[in-house]
Structure 1
Amino acid sequence: MQLVIVMYIIGYASFLITGGRAGEYFGKKKVFLSGMLIFTIASLSCGLSQSAIQLNAARFVQGISSAFMVPQGIAFIPGLFPDQKERVRMLGIYGSIAGTASVIGQFLGGLIPDLGIVQQSWRLIFLINVPVGLTAVVLGLKYLKELPVKTSRKFDFIGSLLLMLTLTFLIYPLIQGWELGWPLWSLSMLFLSLVFSVIFINYQRLTIKTGNSPLISIGLFKNSDFRMGLLISLFYYLVQDSYFLINTVNLQSGLGISSAHTGMYFVCQGLGYVMASMFFTPLVARYGKFISLTGSIIMIVALVFHLFLFNLSAPAPFYIVMVLFTYGIGCGTILPSLMTISLKSTSENQMGASSGIYLTLQQVSVAIGVAVVGGVFFGKLHCPNVASQFSVAYQWATLLDIGFLVIVSVLLLLMPKTKKV
């Protein structure tokens, strides 16, 4: 069951940078449609799988195909919208749609299996992707125009392999290690990820010296907006999934709230996200980092209320709804704008690689956040059956999340002010 999630994340995160670069070499439309078609076939394989091995193998393919598909959607934006004002607006809309779709997907993922339409209704979670994916492929073939390929150099396959090994040996132990008490194999994998990263960096330098095109261009990091955007995103994504982890466990095991009611509470959080993203996204192009700063402050305030509310033995449902809804508003305010402030000044020919780096950082940050914050939470939970222990563990972990968001706010204040466009 754990591998159903882990295999997808490894396939996705390990190939995002490679997928972003592939569009620049082979054509964004071709790579996007190929990724979408393979993802659809993999979804069908998941839905029809007859064993855990088949299911997890198909999930791994799903992750890889997503890694090639997703960066192209972002990389299309500069070519279709060369005007800076339009580009910033479209990046904001993309972030809003992606976040809203994620909320809807989580809701449907919990609802569909409970409908009991067919036996083993969990299969419908994957099979629903088949008509959606085929529709996307048909519409893409008809309406998407291929952007010109702007590089004649060979694709860096060796660099891609080294990066895949680096990220795989980093992400898998981060996801699994903390829960298993950091066994020797997990620490060994983390060490090997460091070794592979050193080899990868040296190989990239050698590639540049020989006149070939590296998988990751150092020139990308000369862009101050991109550098600062990555740093801000790093600390934000440390919070994103670790928040769901500790709150899900605390609501169900600490406060004794059923899984069904917990799910409905998080739907309220999702509604706050959707409403805020619809309202604030159009303002990103005009007010830039101040929209993100507003969102981070709202999230900090909401987490402070979390500390007080979930310290009670039986918090009223109305207050839980309001606190989670407020937190969702903060997420919906900051999240769509993070990608915008990171990629707003990236050139068209660098957008694929930049988006791949951004999305990879996102996945790695999520894994680190779950490992660190989850480690603090479960580390303080000496007696899982004692309610007071949950309260102490939850406070420590939430204070850590608040600290990360304070760093996000400080970095946003230090970021150069964006001119109104």
Structure 2
Amino acid sequence: MLKASYLTQRNSALLSLIIVSTAVFLSVLDIFIVNVALPSIKTGLHGSDADLQLIIALYLLGHAIFLVTAGRLGDYYGRKRMFIIGMTLFVISSCYCGFANTPLQMNAARFLQGTGAALMLPQSITYIQLLFPDPQQRIKALGIYGSIAGTASIIGQLLGGILPDLHTPIAGWRLIFLINLPIGITAIIAAWKMLPETNPEKDKKFDWMGVFILTITLCFLIFPLVYGRELGWPAWTQLLLVASIVFLFIFVKQQLKKSADALIDMRLFRFKDFKIGLLAVLFYFMVQDSYFLINAILMQTGLGYSSSAAGILFVFQGIGYVIASIWSIRLVPIYGKRVLQTGIGIMVITLIAHIFFFTLNTNSFTMLSIILFAYGTGCGSVLPSLLTMTLKSIPVGNAGTASGVFTTLQQTAIALGVCIPGGLFFYIIQQTGYIPAYQVATSVNIGLLLLTGYCLYKLPEA
């Protein structure tokens, strides 16, 4: 638990919230800024479609593998220490990304970057749980946290479009990684000087075997999904997918045996809203990043939009997100899950509008801006409160592990979205072209959103 002197100082709590929110700002920034800049990165590194998917998927894989581990490391060694270590790794690997010369170098750096994000992100979520013990204040704090993520998405989309078009001594796409340095270094210094430390819980054993089995499970799942389509699904990709299911079963059995010292406290799954909320997270985040991947590729490679034009268009989506997220913070305590269900409905309707717009090829910048803005309002109504809805019944003592499970599933779902709807998009492009590929991939995303809406419907009322 946090030292009492910190918990009694509201200004200290707010300052700490700002510091730890740099974790979600940078981790989200580096998803969205890369999405828009992918065509420029592909050209600069002479990469393939699979390399493009790996630039996203390996970042998410590093993120997913170590999130639960990072939550437990924060319990064991102290959250301030792990936050600073994670931010430092993120800054160093961002620098490596900025100077990569081959797809292999880039993807190795992206994996390390995702690992750094994983180490710092669970600490930030747990700090919020501890710094704001009052449920209403915690909802507001998580709402601010979600709004910061939304702001990062706007900035990322804008910079991801503008920076690759700049004529600078360094290729513009490299700057999208190097801008992390001043933000990250400032956050490290601020955390070192001002962030309160938590009391380490070294009386508990660390579950290294659980870490190993979970790592193997996620690697066996993600790699064949990324490479299978490009390689024609050779036998090894199919075997790895089967093995991932086997290792998941082994992991669950191992965690049940470990009980108190387990990497994941399986008692968390006794909470109905936690279980259903995780299913909603799975379906929702499969849409989240695949949406930006297929739209960025369609606009720039398929329809000839410049990266700047695509970036500016995506900013309208981000503006809609921020506006809706601010309102949702106020409305969720009153109307509960109905706010999120409304957001899902808006997203479904606007994805249908996306399909009609690109199929008819109306080429209206204004109309597309309105569609993207509306889609963003749907996202903003869902995303900031999805974490709150999922973790609302979890005891504070289990906040670190629960937030790690939430974010691990979130990042794994994003990677699955990149691999499944995204992989389907790339496959159909080769068969029939960009518009049919977009229609199919976006229809899959609509189906996933409908499943998300069903899960929200099944969530218990507050």
Query: Would the TM-score normalized by the shorter structure come out above 0.5?
Result: yes
Q: Alignment partner for residue 290 of structure 1, among 338, 349, 364?
A: 338
Counterpart CA distance in 2 for 1:311 and 1:45 is: 40
The alpha-carbon deviation at position 289 of structure 1 amounts to 1.1
| CA deviations over 1:38-68 (Å, ceiling 9, x no partner) | 2222223333456655544333222212111
| CA deviations over 1:369-416 (Å, ceiling 9, x no partner) | 23332354455556445xxxx444433333322222222222222222
| CA deviations over 1:174-207 (Å, ceiling 9, x no partner) | 2333344433332222122223223322322332
Q: Alignment partner for residue 323 of structure 1, among 358, 365, 371?
A: 371
The alpha-carbon deviation at position 365 of structure 1 amounts to 1.5
Q: For 2:191, give the aligned amino acid.
A: G
Conservation of the 8 A alpha-carbon contact between 1:177 and 1:183: yes
Where in structure 2 are the equivalents of 1:209-358 lying within 5 Å?
213-252=261-300, 255-358=303-406
The answer to whether structure 1 residue 396 and structure 2 residue 447 are counterparts is no
Counterpart CA distance in 1 for 2:311 and 2:93 is: 28
Given the superposition, is the C-alpha separation of residues 222 and 188 from structure 1 closer, same or farther in structure 2, using an over 3 Å criterion? same
| CA deviations over 1:209-235 (Å, ceiling 9, x no partner) | xxx500011111111221111111111
Conservation of the 8 A alpha-carbon contact between 1:19 and 1:69: yes
Aligned to 1:298, the other structure's residue is in SS state helix
Task: Say which is worse superposed, 119-128 or 62-71, in terms of deviation.
Answer: 119-128
Give unpaired runs (5+ residues) of structure 1. none
Conservation of the 8 A alpha-carbon contact between 2:229 and 2:427: no
Aligned to 2:60: 9
Task: Say which is worse superposed, 337-346 or 368-377, in terms of deviation.
Answer: 368-377
Aligned to 2:134: 83
The alpha-carbon deviation at position 360 of structure 1 amounts to 1.3
Where in structure 2 are the equivalents of 1:14-413 lying within 5 Å?
14-49=65-100, 53-150=104-201, 152-208=203-259, 213-252=261-300, 255-378=303-426, 380-381=428-429, 383-384=431-432, 390-413=434-457
Counterpart CA distance in 2 for 1:268 and 1:179 is: 33
Q: For 1:26, give the aligned amino acid.
A: Y
Q: For 1:8, give the aligned amino acid.
A: Y
The alpha-carbon deviation at position 5 of structure 1 amounts to 3.4
Counterpart CA distance in 1 for 2:276 and 2:241 is: 26
Given the superposition, is the C-alpha separation of residues 30 and 400 from structure 1 closer, same or farther in structure 2, using an over 3 Å criterion? same
Q: For 1:372, give the aligned amino acid.
A: I
Aligned to 2:3: none
Given the superposition, is the C-alpha separation of residues 64 and 257 from structure 1 closer, same or farther in structure 2, using an over 3 Å criterion? closer
Query: TM-score normalized by structure 1?
Result: 0.89
The alpha-carbon deviation at position 269 of structure 1 amounts to 1.6
The alpha-carbon deviation at position 259 of structure 1 amounts to 4.3
Counterpart CA distance in 1 for 2:231 and 2:142 is: 39
Counterpart CA distance in 2 for 1:134 and 1:249 is: 32
Given the superposition, is the C-alpha separation of residues 189 and 397 from structure 1 closer, same or farther in structure 2, using an over 3 Å criterion? same
Q: How many residues align?
A: 411
The alpha-carbon deviation at position 109 of structure 1 amounts to 3.1
Conservation of the 8 A alpha-carbon contact between 2:79 and 2:123: yes
Q: For 1:409, give the aligned amino acid.
A: G
Give unpaired runs (5+ residues) of structure 2. 1-46
Aligned to 2:16: none
